Amino acid sequence: MRKGFVSSVFALIISIIFTTLCTDENENAKMDISSDDIQLLDAIDRGDTISDLNETDTKEYIDSDGDGLPDRREEIIGTDPFNPDTDFDGISDYDELKEKTDPLNPASASKWHPELNISPRLFFDKDDQENIRTHIKSRRSGKAEPYATIYNRILNIADRVPSEYRESFDTRISSQNGEIAEASAFLGWLNGDETYLNKALNIIAMKFPDPTGVSLEEKYNLYESEALTSLCTAYEYLSSTTNIDTSLLSSARDNLIMRLNYFREITHNGTYAVSLAYLNNNHKIKVLSALGLCAMLLNDRREAAFEISSAMSGIDFLMSDFQNAEGFYAEGWSYLNYTGNSFLPFMYAYHRYARGKSIPYYGVENISGGSPHTGKVVQIQDFVTNPKIERLYKMALFSTQPNGLMNPIDDANPECLHGSILYKIFNNPDFLWQWYKPDCNFNTNRLNTLSLLLLTDDKAPEIPTTIGLEASEIEGGVAIMRSGFDANSTYLAFIGEHQKARTNGLGHEHPDELSFILWAYSTPLVIDPGYINWENHNYTKYAKDHSVILIDGEGAPYDDIRNRIGADVYLSDISYDGRVSYVSGLTSYLDSEIKRSVIRINDRYFVLLDRVKFKDNNPHEVTVQINGMGGGDIPDSKLTITDNLARYEKEDVILDISLLTDGENLSLYSRKEEYAKVWGVWGYNDMLLGRASAADSISFLTLLLPQKSKDGILMDSRRLSDKLFYNHFQDAEFDYIIALNKNETPQEIDTANVKIQIQSGLSIVILQTNKEVQRTLIEP
């Protein structure tokens, strides 16, 4: 037992030494080999075999895994005597000892899996490529969609003229040229076109200035990530082509390696290292994804093992933990897409290698940003089979609005996922359901060639089957209520982020507590203003830009310097009672406790009950904001306000709004508000505001009544006293009464030709031919 203890302690000391040595990727972690190890290796190299040894020696030289190291020695140094490659880096334990790298640290190897040396290998196999070519060309020649659309995008990019660098490094030129090179290489691979092949080769081999001194303002980390993802993808296509000038290919490879070396040094040790260490967001994911993809491609270099360990350990922390709040991406869905331009090619290529296995990687320190993997060798699950990452993309799909675009919560614009790629990755046709929506227009973003490469003839399902119709994602911070998946369904997203979903968005978080989005009749009626872009999100990122509740003209705080943005909201589950369903959210800011309940009636009408309780007895002014999609510069639309009623009209769709309160001096008015149209472009709508004052507490009852202009539904909105008010309206089937009684005893109201007793609280009463068919009491 003592011998085993001593061996364990010795192995621990050796492991600590290895860990210390492996922090410099340019030197690689090296291991001091003992004289016994040297004698052992010499004996093995001389050709000694088990049969040459006596019985005592045989015990010393038992080699269970056949890696050339006896089990006894492996027990001492801590390697696995039953696994010839303990750290799964593709180099045997024996060879790592000879090369003086650490057999316990996958980041220290002299190469990464050098046995992977056949091109192509990242996105398809050599035996498959002819079938893939034939399939794509046959569909394109037949003008089948979406093959024709995506092919034409690739063709348009490939025909652009690449830009030459001037005296200094230009990050945007790198990104643009990379995209041209990828498109050209793909067309050359697909069609055997030497003009495109040579164009791609020349772009990859193009001389570029030393980027070492590039400033943070030039966003080298983002643009060079895009460039390298495209250039390494282009090189994969080129190296898979037979009619290629091998000397030009070699020159392109040398230049690509030099570019990759600069990138690794600048992001991990140079100008960008400090900022990336703290930016646990899309910046780092893009950097690590590009690094990982290129390491898999150029895997015979001494830096490749470090690069892929950095990529795997860093991305696992960011995508499974920091940015992933139970499926909600903290920065907003646009940034999930943006990172996807680098992450998805790496994710797919790596899965083709890992095949679902968990494999050990070292948590590289340089830009770890608080990752629990730092300084450790940890098992990292294949991203494709990681349920947390799959849930992230399914939550993005779950957020889909009736037009097919994801809701623009936080710094996001309405857009679609990379449908054909995600379908292939997760084998889930629901991603095609979104992707084939007309407004998505087969979104590919920068991933045109991979989207076409992975495209199949499989049809999109009419409705998705792996996401629910509606749910309150409490940890993810959003509740979605929808009547169906068709374009005419009603859809309401109720926003209530807390903890990671709120704080880990960093500079991309919006203080949008209890805000909401509403669609009906294929029309956005109440919107989130979206993002626009980084340069212009000051127009849309504050509380005043959302459908929230203001206290004395202010919403939840926005302090991006100290990352104190907004306040935690805690959502409830969705409750169901016949034709009525409801969900609520609770938050606190500006010394006020605020609760908003959202009630849906008959899958078509909506009610907001807002209750604010102040922590002092001073009078306060409270404003309910409704960011209606009408007026402003929106064609064929307008907002009309009359007393406590408002109407948004947009072509033949109407949103009628009634606002009642127990506060004093209620006034309704509007102001212009910016909203994102598409990336970088914004327009103006008219936001509705209802303001009243109170001390101690205040309640607002708001009815949101979507209808077509031909429906002709009218509202009767009455405030009988400061403690009793109601709305009554009638459609072709029912009468609906929504009444708030703040008295402690039941009160009677006379409406819809009947007298109705209203209990204390909010009552939803549904009548048919003057007979009560349902009554739901909410918040007694």
Q: How far is CA 637 from the centre of its chain?
A: 33
**Distance between CA 7 and CA 72 in Å, rounded?**
10
At residue 368 the predicted structure's pLDDT band, cuts being 50, 70 and 90, is: confident
Residue 114 has pLDDT above 50, yes or no: yes
Question: How large is the average pLDDT for residues 12-39?
Answer: 42
Write down the pLDDT at residue 322.
Answer: 87
Which range of 291-300, 457-466, 492-501 scores highest in mean pLDDT? It is 291-300
Place of tokens 């691979």: 189
The answer on pLDDT for 245 being more than 60 is yes
Q: In the predicted model, what is the mean pLDDT of residues 64-87?
A: 93
| Peptide bond between residue 106 and the one before it cis (omega within 30 degrees of 0) | no
Percent of the chain predicted with pLDDT > 70: 92
The yes-or-no verdict on residue 44 having pLDDT over 50 is no
The Cα–Cα gap between 328 and 389 comes to 10
CATH number (1.10.3720.10, 1.50.10.100, 3.30.1330.10, 3.90.470.10) of 129-453 reads 1.50.10.100
Instruction: Report whether 319 contacts 383 (CB < 8 A).
Output: yes
| pLDDT grade for 503, boundaries at 50, 70 and 90 | confident
By C-alpha distance, which of 763, 730, 734 is closest to 747?
763
- Please check whether the two domains, 129-453 and 471-713, share a CATH topology: no
Q: Cα–Cα distance between 261 and 303 in angstroms, integer?
A: 9
pLDDT in tens, 185-211: 999 999 999 999 999 999 999 999 999
Mean pLDDT over 223-235 rounds to 98
Average pLDDT, the chain: 91
- Does residue 765 carry a pLDDT above 50? yes
Single out the residue of 284, 498, 152 nearest to residue 292, CA to CA: 284
Distance between CA atoms of 278 and 371, rounded to whole angstroms? 11
Q: What is the mean pLDDT of residues 699-709?
A: 98
pLDDT at 80 over 70: yes
Residue 89 one-letter amino acid: D
Non-local CB neighbours of 16 within 8 Å, separated by 6+ positions: none
Q: How far apart are CA 734 and CA 740, in angstroms?
A: 20
Residues 776, 764 contacting (CB under 8 angstroms) = yes
Dihedral sign for Cα 237, 242, 244, 247, please.
Answer: positive
19 pLDDT exceeds 80?
no
Tokens standing for residue 187:
């067309």
How far is 298 from 171, CA to CA, in rounded Å? 22
The confidence score (pLDDT) of residue 778 equals 92
Name which of 121, 115, 137, 196 is nearest 162 in CA terms.
196
CA nearest to 226, candidates 177, 279, 264, 267: 177
Altogether, the residues listed in the chain come to a count of 780
Using the predicted structure, report yes or no on whether residue 5 has a pLDDT greater than 60.
no
The answer, yes or no, to whether residue 36 has pLDDT greater than 80, is no
Please give the average per-residue pLDDT across 565-571, as a whole number. 93
- How far apart CA 188 and CA 181 sit, in angstroms, is 10
Q: Which CATH number is 471-713's, of 3.40.50.150, 3.40.50.300, 3.40.50.360, 2.70.98.70?
A: 2.70.98.70
Q: Is the pLDDT of residue 18 over 70?
A: no
Q: Is 60 exceeded by the pLDDT of residue 632?
A: yes
Segment 279-292 shows an average pLDDT of 95
Per-residue pLDDT band for 228 (boundaries 50, 70, 90) equals very high
Sheet of strand 771-778: strand arrangement: 715-721, 724-730, 735-741, 761-768, 771-778
- Rounded percentage of the chain residues whose pLDDT exceeds 90: 84
Please state the rounded mean pLDDT for residues 521-537. Answer: 95
The answer to which of 32-36, 252-256, 492-496 has the lowest mean pLDDT is 32-36
Residue 776, H or E segment? strand 771-778
What pLDDT, on the 0 to 100 scale, is given for residue 20?
Answer: 37
Instruction: Give residue 333's pLDDT.
Output: 94
pLDDT digits (tens, 9 = 90+) for 404-454: 999 999 999 999 999 999 999 999 999 999 999 999 999 999 999 999 999
- Which of these, 83, 93, 104, lies nearest to 37 by C-alpha position? 93
Query: Token digits for 370?
Result: 């608080």
SS3 content of the chain, % helix, strand, coil (to 5): 35, 25, 40
Alpha-carbon distance of 85 to 65, in angstroms, equals 9
Residue 636's CB is within 10 A of a number of other CB atoms, namely: 9
Taking Cα atoms as reference points, which of 486, 427, 446 lies closest to residue 462?
486
Closest CA to 417 of 336, 324, 478: 336
Burial of residue 611 (number of CB atoms within 10 Å: 0-12, 13-18, 19+): buried
* Residue carrying structure tokens 């979507």: 706
d(CA 521, CA 312): 45
What band does 553 get if pLDDT is binned at 50, 70 and 90? very high
Q: In sequence order, what are the beta bridge partners of 559?
A: 564
Whether the pLDDT of residue 58 is over 80: the answer is no
* Residue 564's pLDDT band (cuts 50, 70, 90): confident
Task: Judge contact between 418 and 445, C-beta under 8 A.
Answer: yes
Q: Which of 237, 227, 153, 166 is nearest to 200 (CA)?
A: 237
Contact 541, 510 (CB under 8 A): yes
Contact 626, 687 (CB under 8 A): yes
pTM for this model (two decimals): 0.90
CB atoms within 10 A of CB 755: 9
Residue 635: closest CA among 614, 649, 646: 649
Residue 536 DSSP one-character state: G
pLDDT band at 57 (very low <50, low <70, confident <90, very high): low
What is the pairing mode between strands 478-482 and 471-473? antiparallel
141-150 average pLDDT score = 94
> Rounded distance, CA 524 to CA 518, Å?
6
Cβ neighbours of 278 (radius 10 Å)? 12
Q: Could you tell me the residue ranges of all domains in the chain? A: 2-99, 129-453, 471-713
pLDDT the model gives residue 37: 53
CB 338 within 8 A of CB 329: no
End-to-end CA gap in the chain? 69
Q: Minimal CA–CA distance to 515: which of 612, 591, 627, 611? A: 627
> Residue 285: is its pLDDT beyond 50?
yes
Residue 761 tokens, joined: 């609280």
Q: Give me the mean pLDDT over the 343-352 stretch.
A: 98
Among 242, 228, 340, 249, residue whose Cα is nearest residue 292? 228
